[in-house]
């Protein structure tokens, strides 16, 4: 045994430690550090979790359990969840406070009212009086509810929209909302949709069975998608067949993630397909999973779509045997999670912060594995293209476009909604042929061809084909085909400001150009006169230096407005 060095007092008593710093003090008892979970809260959260796994990737799902049960997340229950999941309270707190739909109540603070009323204030709802509606509700809601503003709820064709608990009110009025508050929270009623039996009876899943049997094989499936020209319909427009081929070329095991976090203001097409024909989407998903040999598929559906999640929960249980495991995951109110790498972070139970690339998700995605990520509508069309042939799909366009597009149309038209139309159709044709024309008393002044981030075009350019690659030279893009129509009665400066406020609120805060740029742009846009030179410089910095598409595209509405409507730079003095 090694001899103790001179001066080593590791076993010395109080007398021999007289010259040691702290001599004469009593040693503190060994007690746990940090906030300790309340025994009652611990028991309540443990009962909520039941036999559910305590894995880190399920953190957001478990936070939803607490939020749904209590209408908020008390500090004691947050600490209890951290204890049960063996995570630090800081880890759980940073995730819970990142997402808008988790209402964390700090220790010592009074509890929140039992009911939350969310008034959508995104562009289309703002055009239909959301600001006045919210102001009136705030004074009348009473102690049973709190009224908060909310970004797009995915019901732009029904504007203005209000969410009372989990109940959505279309074309809401103050009396409607107050009556819903008195009635309390209500979960959505099941709508009529094509269930498993109806889908099977019409030939559903026969294609999946053939693909699994090898006729057509994986190469033939990919080739058909490439020949047909199917592109990602969530906004980026990346060729679908090329993406599937890239993932398949990576070493396994592989995973698949479905991006159903449709949060772009003006977009609601995915909700339409999920609520009406879910199995066509699911069959496309299972075909994609088979082609890339994914062992598991994660379906990430935004929190604002409770009906879609309930339909999927019921129908997934009826799927044909075999194939990958399907996991239904619930978003929590973060637009940034529509960015593919932020979606992966959220699926792993973390804040939705976009990752630096490379590596790309097809190389190193969910849980570090090669991952195929597709949008809901992209997968919805897989069956049709394979059954009808790629030439059928390619021949559906107009003015040189390929395929069909599901346009989410809202704003100043007679008949808003999801309009299935040829890719490449013009705005003027879309409004006249599919939307019943402009709303009574309104004259077309401008339009957004691709949602909040797609820019703003003047009526003079209403004859441009709406498709990938046709709008970029005018400073805009088609994106998710969310078309918002503005008229001569709308304030275009106010519209651009509304969009910038949205991006400011939804910035994840990770990078300075986006976090500070959106705030600074909003402040400059609130002035009566716009400093065009400064705003243009700021827009360029955001576009060139932001990490992800949110910051890169946030200034598109502003930049296109300055480009096409220079007379608006000077406001009313």
From the list 414, 484, 482, 483, the residue with the least C-alpha distance to 442 is 414
Residue-wise pLDDT tens digits, 290-306: 999 999 999 999 999 99
Q: What per-residue confidence (pLDDT) applies to 31?
A: 53
Model confidence at 536: pLDDT above 70? yes
- pTM for the full model? 0.92
- 413 and 515 housed in the same domain: no
> Confidence class of residue 18 from pLDDT cuts 50, 70 and 90?
very low
Of 461, 487, 513, the one marking the end of a domain is: 487
Q: Both 95 and 123 in a single domain?
A: no
Mean pLDDT over residues 267-279, rounded? 97
Average pLDDT, the chain: 92
Asked if 200 and 283 touch (Cβ cutoff 8 Å), the reply is no
Within-domain flag for 17: no
Q: In terms of domains, do 359 and 427 share one?
A: no
Assign 27 a pLDDT band (cuts: 50, 70, 90): low
pLDDT digits (tens, 9 = 90+) for 209-256: 999 999 999 999 999 999 999 999 998 899 999 999 999 999 999 999
pLDDT band at 205 (very low <50, low <70, confident <90, very high): very high
The pLDDT of residue 8: 36
Same domain, 383 and 269: yes
Strand segments, DSSP code E, in 96-144 are 104-105, 115-120
Domain carrying residue 78: 39-105
Q: What is the DSSP string of 439-481?
A: PTT--EEEEESSSTTS--EEGGGTTSB-STTSSGGGT---TT-
Shared-domain flag, residues 173 and 83: no
Q: What secondary structure letter does DSSP report for 239?
A: B
Find the range with the poorest average confidence among 27-36, 183-192, 232-241, 424-433: 27-36
Residue 144 sits in a domain whose CATH number is: 3.40.30.10
What per-residue confidence (pLDDT) applies to 392?
Answer: 96
Rounded CA separation 258/281 (Å): 10
Please report the pLDDT score of residue 37 as a whole number: 87
Residue 418 lies in a domain: yes
Same domain, residue pair 256 and 340:
yes
Residue 371 covered by a domain: yes
568 pLDDT higher than 50: yes
In a domain, 91, yes or no: yes
| 32 occurs within a structural domain | no
Residue 337 predicted with pLDDT over 60: yes
pLDDT, residue 33, reads 59
Number of domains in the chain: 5
Q: What are phi and psi of 349, to 5 degrees?
A: 85, 25
pLDDT, tens only, 117-168: 999 999 999 999 999 999 989 778 888 899 999 999 999 999 999 999 889 9
* Confidence grade of residue 187 (pLDDT, cut at 50, 70, 90): low
Tell me, rounded to whole angstroms, the distance of Cα 573 from its chain centroid.
39
Rounded to an integer, the average pLDDT of 313-340 is 95
Question: For the chain, what is the largest distance between any 2 Cα atoms, rounded to a whole number of angstroms?
Answer: 97
- Same structural domain, 470 and 372: no
In a domain, 395, yes or no: no
Is 184 or 173 the better-scoring residue by pLDDT? Answer: 173
DSSP secondary structure string for all residues of 503-542: HHHH--S-SHHHHHHHHHHHHHHTSSB--HHHHHHHHHHH
The arithmetic mean of pLDDT across residues 54-75, rounded, is 97
Name 500's bridge partners: none
Burial of 374-409, coded b for 16+ CB within 10 Å and e otherwise, reads: bbbbbbbbbbbbbeeebeebbebbbbebbbbbbbbb
**Residues 74 and 164 placed together within one structural domain of the fold:** no
267 and 242 in a common domain: yes
Query: Where residue 463 sits, what CATH number does that domain have?
Result: 3.10.20.600
For residue 9, the model assigns a pLDDT of 34
Q: What share of the chain is helix, strand, coil (3-state, %, to 5)?
A: 45, 15, 40
Domain boundary among 67, 85, 105: 105
pLDDT of residue 138: 77
Average pLDDT over residues 78-91: 96
Domain CATH code at residue 549: 1.20.1440.230
pLDDT band of residue 307 (cuts 50, 70, 90) is: very high
The interaxial angle of helices 532-545 and 556-564, nearest 10 deg, is 140
Answer whether residue 317 is part of any domain: yes
Do the bridges between strand 404-411 and strand 417-422 make them parallel or antiparallel, or are there none, so unpaired?
Answer: antiparallel
Choosing from 325, 357, 388, the residue where a domain stops is 388
CATH number for 242: 3.40.50.11540
415-456 pLDDT tens trace: 999 999 999 999 999 999 999 999 999 999 999 999 999 999
In whole angstroms, what separates CA 203 from the centre of its chain? Answer: 32
Q: β-strand 73-74 against 104-105: which pairing, if any? A: parallel
Query: Do the beta carbons of residue 258 and residue 273 sit within 8 Å?
Result: no
List the CATH number of the domain containing 72.
1.10.10.1590
**Do 133 and 268 share a domain, yes or no?**
no
Specify if 175 maps to a domain: yes
pLDDT category at 188 given cuts 50, 70, 90 is: low
Residue 11 has pLDDT above 60, yes or no: no
Q: Do 471 and 497 lie in a common domain? A: no
Q: Mean pLDDT across the stretch 103-116?
A: 94
Residues 97 and 125 in one domain: no
């Amino acid at each position: 045994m090694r001899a103790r060095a001179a001066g080593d007092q590791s076993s010395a008593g109080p007398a021999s430690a007289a010259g040691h710093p702290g001599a004469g003090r009593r040693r503190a008892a060994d007690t746990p550090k940090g906030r300790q979970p309340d025994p009652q809260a611990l028991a309540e959260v443990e009962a909520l979790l039941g036999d559910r796994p305590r894995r880190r990737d399920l953190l957001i799902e478990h936070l939803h359990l607490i939020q749904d049960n209590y209408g908020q997340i008390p500090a004691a229950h947050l600490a209890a969840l951290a204890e049960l999941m063996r995570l630090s309270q800081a880890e759980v707190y940073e995730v819970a406070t990142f997402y808008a739909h988790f209402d964390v109540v700090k220790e010592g603070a009074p509890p929140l009212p039992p009911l939350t009323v969310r008034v959508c204030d995104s562009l289309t709802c703002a055009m239909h009086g959301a600001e006045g509606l919210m102001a009136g509700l705030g004074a009348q809601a009473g102690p049973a509810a709190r009224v908060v503003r909310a970004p797009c709820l995915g019901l732009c064709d029904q504007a203005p929209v209000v969410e009372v608990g989990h109940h959505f009110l279309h074309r809401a009025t103050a009396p409607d909302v107050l009556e819903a508050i008195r009635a309390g929270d209500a979960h959505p009623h099941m709508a009529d949709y094509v269930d498993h039996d109806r889908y099977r009876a019409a030939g559903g899943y026969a294609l999946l069975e053939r693909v699994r049997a090898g006729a057509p094989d994986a190469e033939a499936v990919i080739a058909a998608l490439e020949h047909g020209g199917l592109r990602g319909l969530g906004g980026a427009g990346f060729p679908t067949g090329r993406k599937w081929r890239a993932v398949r070329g990576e070493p396994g095991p592989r995973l698949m993630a479905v991006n159903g976090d449709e949060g772009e203001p003006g977009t609601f097409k995915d909700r339409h397909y999920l609520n009406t024909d879910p199995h066509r989407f699911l069959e496309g998903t299972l075909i994609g999973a088979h082609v890339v040999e994914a062992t598991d598929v994660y379906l990430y559906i935004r929190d604002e779509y409770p009906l879609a999640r309930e339909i999927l929960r019921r129908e997934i249980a009826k799927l044909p045997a075999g194939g990958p495991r399907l996991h239904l995951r619930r978003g929590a109110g973060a637009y940034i999670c529509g960015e593919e790498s932020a979606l992966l972070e959220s699926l792993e139970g973390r804040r939705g912060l976009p990752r630096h690339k490379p590596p790309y998700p097809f190389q190193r995605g969910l849980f570090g594995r090669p991952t195929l990520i597709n949008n809901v509508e992209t997968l919805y069309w897989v069956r049709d293209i394979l059954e009808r042939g790629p030439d059928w799909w390619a021949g559906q366009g107009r003015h040189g476009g390929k395929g069909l597009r599901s346009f989410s149309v809202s704003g100043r038209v007679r008949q808003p909604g999801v309009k299935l139309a040829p890719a490449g159709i013009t705005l003027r044709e879309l409004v006249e042929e599919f939307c019943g024309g402009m709303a009574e008393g309104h004259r077309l002044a401008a339009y957004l061809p691709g949602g909040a981030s797609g820019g703003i075009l003047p009526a003079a350019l209403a004859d441009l084909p709406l498709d990938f690659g046709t709008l970029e030279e005018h400073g805009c893009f088609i994106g998710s085909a969310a078309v918002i129509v503005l008229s001569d009665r709308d304030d275009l400066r106010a519209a651009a400001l509304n969009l910038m406020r949205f991006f400011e609120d939804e910035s994840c805060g990770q990078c300075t150009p986006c976090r500070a740029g959106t705030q600074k742009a909003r402040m400059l846009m609130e002035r009566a006169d716009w400093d065009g030179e400064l705003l243009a410089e700021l827009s360029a910095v955001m576009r060139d230096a932001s990490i992800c598409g949110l910051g890169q595209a946030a200034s598109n509405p502003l930049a296109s407005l300055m480009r096409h409507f220079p007379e608006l730079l000077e406001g009313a003095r």
